[in-house]
Structure 1
């Protein structure tokens, strides 16, 4: 979440394809219908693929529910974490297509969410420039395109930031848990029960029942402050308390998934589960999130369940920049030429997985300098400030990013690739925070 002081620093156009990886098949198909053809993303036209069912319901158009979970790290039980802290999400992962190397667009909510809704880097969007960023109406968000296509669009949230964020563009229904306590340094609310109830109510709207729907539900409880919950205890450390929050949130995500499955339209609904960013527990002497672009902050889960598509793992790195074109593709709605990502639907249905470089963007705000991360193969550049002072890490050999590498041909090559990619970014200066924004060419000289 976009909380200015909670993310403490101390204890406190797409690039070329590379690094392809063949998917490892896991279990059998779900038996649900397939909603669109491989060769043309039109939901009204069904096609048989591996694991698909010939059910006549395959001819019906898809709905899409996007569930995002604040602060959800990539190291979850289905990815090897030893504690069974999320049984319902683990169950969902077993029947979904799992992206094992997925990246958020930034390291805190405001920038990450603005980016994936727009299909662009957050630094390319018109915004005021404050840490709790407000986005301008001139930005195009993908729900606006769904709305134009007569899709019912609804969203449920659990933090006061979303009241005046500008992120509500394109939503027919936009609701926030009421009576929230505001604290710009942390989050002291427990919201999953009320949020899940709002989501059920929105999904029961006649417009959802009778037509096509897109719903976005953002669960917030894993966010610091890690609140206690009766009957849940993994210990007393920060990570222990966070794990308890994951367990608590998992229950309500499971309840929402059960509700969706029980609706008449449930069998023709695709569900995407991901996170806006990760979290830190002492890595690089940092706690919570924001301000930096380390792997633990920007690698996130990405699970996609499409009716009729068999579960498996995809190891090729992917970015949340692909969410907008993916959702539009599932609806058969043309994407915007301004969106930078690519639809994941073809590869989820079994097509080749072309490799692409990954870019993560943390624009300058009232609270932080600009930083960007660029991933090319196993190498990662983290570049800071106007001068793009860069460090390079081999995240395969050094996953903790503890030992930057220097002076090799490979480091020179990736820095050159980053600078080339950087030149194509259309940075937009903030509209208001011109004195306070720290970098990116925004501070007055």
Structure 2
């Protein structure tokens, strides 16, 4: 059997034409969807990049595997400790080892492990191909490595190839000569001039005033990456460049798919398409970043084309960590006691709804938040606001307010109570099944806060005062006095 996994960074589903986006951003992914199953309510359990892939690979929530941050103690997987044995059982039962157990030759084309010093990601691969640019590479650099591998292994019967492309991740990197396929397409209409003016007053990193997190300068060598947006026209360019990078990446994916078709491998090749997280493009006042535990950051695409299995659309709630037990069931391999995932193999085999009643998703790198996704709502509880001045509770009706503009927490306490019950039940289940007695979220807070916020507040308050937002600076000093000691 041949399996191709396209691991596409920073891909929010509602900006993909295969998920109904009015712009034709992904014609080649659209064609894969037509031959497979599209999952509409698929979420990473832990955002952003490092925590998401830690959960995907280990099949365990961050509260169990320990990796929920981009720095400090919680940027590493927990050591297994007493009972480890000659091999680490968590890594021996990780996602990519599963393909080895199924009898496949495994290879990855990815710089992720080096980018985050997360070398556990490479566990299970026979071959590791790293272009060495730590995620700053473009699809034009990944494509020839992929094509060479496919050609060199054209006679191999059983393989699994993981291909990691980064293009939609900032800084946006499609070559300027690629142009703008969306220059004549309108910007999403939910961002009105009134909403934009409100966003200009937002306090917090990655606002329209500081697209570079805490600064408004464009990075050298990346002309598509703006430092700020002062007009609606400039904001449209920000939106267009995100979509351009998706389109550019999809174009290169088309070359891979066409090769599989020309070589006669496409029909019998299984293809898995997914991402690590989405991207806020105005939601919660944040642009070009994946810094919260909201619907936009944690919802990701999942597309599975598997020969002989069902096609269509699944609406159930799933985590990315559900993939590993699903594959184990499809491969007739035993489950592992420390996986938190729930198989949805019957969805692929029979079209059965295997969705969960609710999801709990977390963020520990930019803010400290946990959120409950249930019914058509998302409830977000903030423990550290990452300097955005978020309230402790937020509740959004995703059916009527997908872009999270109207916080209903004050008017619907009964829904907040329901979500809190889910959260408390989940937390109890997690701690009762944990191999340690600590919650890494509290480790992050005890060590000074999430990595991308930690230590930046004095500098950011100075900037707020210089840009007409002194009230925000004053409020942040009140909320975070410990940062000024």
Q: Any unmatched runs of 5+ in structure 2?
A: 80-87, 184-235, 386-390, 455-481
Distance in 1 separating the partners of 2:116 and 2:407: 38
Aligned to 1:258: 258
Q: 1: CA distance between counterparts of 2:401 and 2:329?
A: 36
**Equivalent-residue separation in structure 2 for 1:255 and 1:243 (angstroms):** 19
Quote the Cα distance in structure 2 between the aligned partners of 1:136 and 1:87: 41
* Aligned equivalent of 2:425: 420
Q: Which residue matches 1:171?
A: 125
Q: Name the CA distance, whole Å, in 2 between partners of 1:339 and 1:298.
A: 20
Q: Is residue 200 of structure 1 aligned with residue 147 of structure 2? A: yes
Q: Return closer, same or farther for 1:202/1:262 CA change in 2, 3 Å cut-off.
A: same
1:93 pairs, out of 4, 17, 33, with 33
Residue 102 to residue 274, structure 1, CA distance change in 2 (3 Å): same
- State the alpha-carbon separation in 1 of the partners of residues 145 and 267 from structure 2: 21
Superimposed CA distance per residue, residues 267-314 of structure 1 (whole angstroms, 9 cap, x where no aligned partner)? 332111111111122221112223312222122221111112353111
Q: Map 1:387-406 to 2 at 5 A.
A: 389-401=392-404, 402-406=406-410
Question: Following superposition of structure 1 onto structure 2, how do residues 339-358 of structure 1 map, counting pairs within 5 Å?
Answer: 339-358=339-358
Selected match of 2:172 from 226, 235, 247: 226
Q: Secondary structure at the match of 2:373?
A: strand
Supply the distance in 1 between the matched residues of 2:140 and 2:418 (Cα, whole angstroms).
50
State the Cα deviation string for residues 48-73 of structure 1 (Å, max 9, x = none).
Answer: xxxxxxxxxxxxxx332221211111
* Corresponding residue for residue 53 of structure 1: none
Partner residue in 1 for 2:227: none
Q: How far did residue 127 of structure 1 move?
A: 4.4
- The match for 1:24 is none
How does the TM-score come out when normalised to structure 1? 0.74
In the alignment, structure 1 residue 409 sits paired with structure 2 residue 414:
yes
Shift of 1:238: 0.6
Structure 1 position 248 matched with structure 2 position 248:
yes
Aligned-partner Cα distance in 2 for 1:434–1:202 = 44
Does the 8 A contact of 1:71 with 1:275 survive in 2?
yes
The answer (yes or no) to whether the contact 2:378–2:397 under 8 Å persists in 1 is yes
- 2:20 corresponds to: 80
Q: 1:435 to 1:419 in 2, by over 3 A?
A: closer
Higher helix share: 2
Q: Give, in whole Å, the separation in 1 of the partners of 2:252 and 2:104.
A: 26
More off after superposition, 133-142 vs 310-319: 133-142
Matches of 1:376 and 1:311, distance apart in 2: 25
Please give the per-residue CA displacement for 1:200-239, whole angstroms capped at 9, x wherever unaligned. Answer: 3334555x84352222211101111112422331346111
Counterpart of 2:222?
Answer: none
**Cα distance, 1:134–1:176 mapped onto 2, change above 3 Å:** farther
Deviations, residues 398-443 of structure 1 (Å, cap 9, x unaligned): 322222234543432222122111111235549x97963527xxx9
Q: 1:290 to 1:281 in 2, by over 3 A?
A: closer
**How much does 1:389 deviate?**
4.4
Correspondence for 1:142: 95
SS at match of 1:373: strand
Structure 1 residue aligned with 2:46, among 106, 112, 122?
106
Unaligned runs of 5+ in 1: 1-61
Q: Distance in 2 between matches of 1:413 and 1:423?
A: 16
Determine if contact 2:46/2:68 at 8 Å carries over to the other structure: no
TM-score (norm 2): 0.68
Shift of residue 333 of structure 1?
A: 2.4
Partner of 2:56: 116
Contact 1:158–1:219 at 8 Å: present in 2 too? no
> Do the aligned partners of residues 434 and 147 (structure 1) sit closer, same or farther apart at CA in structure 2, a change above 3 Å counting?
farther
Match of residue 371 from structure 1: 369
Write the distance in 2 (CA, Å) between the matches of 1:242 and 1:107: 19
Give me the whole-angstrom Cα distance separating, in 1, the residues matched to 2:164 and 2:354. Answer: 30
Contact 2:108 2:128 in 1 (8 A): yes
Compared CA separation, residues 400 and 200, structure 1 to 2 (3 A): same
**Corresponding residue for 2:316?**
316
Secondary structure in structure 2 of the residue aligned to 1:322: helix
Alignment match, 1:335: 335
The range that moved more, 309-318 or 416-425, is 309-318
CA deviations 1:327-359 (Å, max 9, x no partner) are: 333333223222122222211232420331343
Bigger Cα displacement from structure 2, 71-80 vs 260-269: 260-269
Shift in CA distance, 128/372, structure 1 to aligned 2, threshold 3 Å: closer
Question: Number of residue pairs matched?
Answer: 370
Query: 1:145 Cα shift?
Result: 3.4
1:174-208 CA deviation, whole Å, 9 max, x = no partner? 22223x2x6xxxx7x442122122223334555x8
Give how far 1:244 is off.
Answer: 1.0
- Give the C-alpha shift of residue 250 in structure 1: 0.5
Change (3 A) 1:175 1:340: same
Find the partner of 2:382 among 376, 381, 384. 384
Does structure 1 retain, via aligned residues, the 8 Å contact 2:275–2:301?
yes
Kept in 2, the 8 Å contact 1:379–1:394? The answer is: yes
